[in-house]
């Protein structure tokens, strides 16, 4: 709404007269919003701990697999922690990604306390001098108080052994999500704080336009985007390319725009 208002004012001031200039104006405004947020500063810590959070099915586990592969390809040692002990098969799914990416995996029994998995994983990472620990968590609705409390507990337990950790807390968002994405960002930000967003499924019908107000309201940078289900399908976010794709007319319109 604000962008449209700005645009109207530009039209009134006769700065914008034709459709193409109008589009360019809007693109520039969107790019400015996305580029204004400082990009994430890589913290040098060893082990470097990253917590992946988000609602169900957004692609947390898949993204961890892809991220692990990037890191092992850079010669880093990587440990994955299966702190999604809720969904049957979640640990197994992470183990498969671990094998593909060349990363070790810490798992407990299904139904175990996710904080205990996180604690074990941090100990293991410290003992073995692992470079990167990536912690998977169960999908949770941002509105469920007890599940958000569980997340806070995981964070506290991690900080018991490494006070500065988790060094990053990444919200994984599905690009097909509409307005609910704002609510997700708001609740997760409030509950444990976010250092960045990874936007998945941009290979599908969703364009992820919702990240624009999210980035602006919560000043969290988008770090990577997911473009598929394979190991290599995670690339750094680039504002200009993203905004251009928002305006492409050849792809199928998502129902939520």
Ligand X SMILES: Nc1nc2c(ncn2[C@@H]2O[C@H](COP(=O)(O)OP(=O)(O)O)[C@@H](O)[C@H]2O)c(=O)[nH]1
Contacting residue, 26, 30, 47, 61, with Mg ion by CB under 5 A: 61
User: Please, are residues 209 and 26 in contact by the beta-carbon 8 Å criterion?
Assistant: no
**3/27 Cα distance (integer angstroms):** 10
204 binds ligand X (CB under 6 A): yes
CB of 225 to Mg ion, least distance (A): 18
Contacting residue, 227, 237, 239, 242, with ligand X by CB under 6 A: 227
Residue span binding ligand X (CB under 6 A) among the ranges 15-23, 55-63, 118-126, 176-184: 55-63
Contacting residue, 140, 201, 207, 224, with ligand X by CB under 6 A: 201
Segment 208-237, which members bind Mg ion (CB under 5 A)?
none
Residue 126 or 231 having the CB closest to Mg ion: 231
User: Please, are residues 243 and 81 in contact by the beta-carbon 8 Å criterion?
Assistant: no
The entry of ligand X, Mg ion, none that residue 34 binds, CB within 5 to 8 Å by partner kind: none
CB of 154 to Mg ion, least distance (A): 15
189 binds Mg ion (CB under 5 A): no
229 binds ligand X (CB under 6 A): yes
**Binding characters for ligand X, 136-165, by CB under 6 A (x = yes):** ---x--------------------------
Site residues for ligand X per CB under 6 A: 54, 56-62, 139, 172, 200-201, 203-204, 226-229, 233
């Amino acid at each position: 709404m604000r962008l449209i208002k700005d645009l109207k004012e530009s039209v009134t001031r006769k700065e914008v007269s034709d459709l193409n200039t109008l589009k360019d104006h809007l693109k520039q405004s969107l790019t400015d919003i996305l580029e204004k947020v400082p990009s994430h500063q890589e913290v040098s810590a060893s082990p470097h701990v990253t917590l992946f959070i988000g609602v169900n099915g957004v692609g947390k586990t898949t993204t961890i697999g892809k991220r692990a592969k990037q890191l092992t390809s850079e010669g880093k040692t990587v440990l994955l922690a299966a702190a999604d002990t809720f969904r049957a098969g979640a640990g197994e799914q992470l183990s498969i990604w671990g094998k593909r990416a060349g990363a070790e995996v810490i798992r407990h029994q299904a139904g175990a306390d996710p904080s205990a998995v996180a604690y074990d994983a941090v100990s293991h990472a410290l003992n073995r001098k692992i470079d990167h620990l990536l912690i998977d968590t169960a999908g949770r609705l941002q509105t469920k108080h007890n599940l958000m409390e569980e997340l806070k507990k995981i964070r506290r337990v991690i900080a018991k052994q490494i006070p500065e950790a988790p060094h990053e807390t990444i919200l994984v968002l599905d690009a097909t999500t509409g307005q609910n994405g704002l609510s997700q960002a708001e609740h997760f930000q409030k509950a444990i704080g976010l250092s960045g967003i990874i936007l998945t499924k941009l290979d599908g019908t969703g364009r992820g336009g919702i990240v624009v107000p999210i980035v602006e309201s919560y000043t969290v940078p988008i770090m990577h985007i997911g473009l598929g289900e394979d190991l290599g399908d995670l690339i750094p976010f680039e504002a200009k390319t993203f905004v251009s794709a928002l305006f492409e007319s050849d792809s199928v319109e998502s129902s939520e725009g």
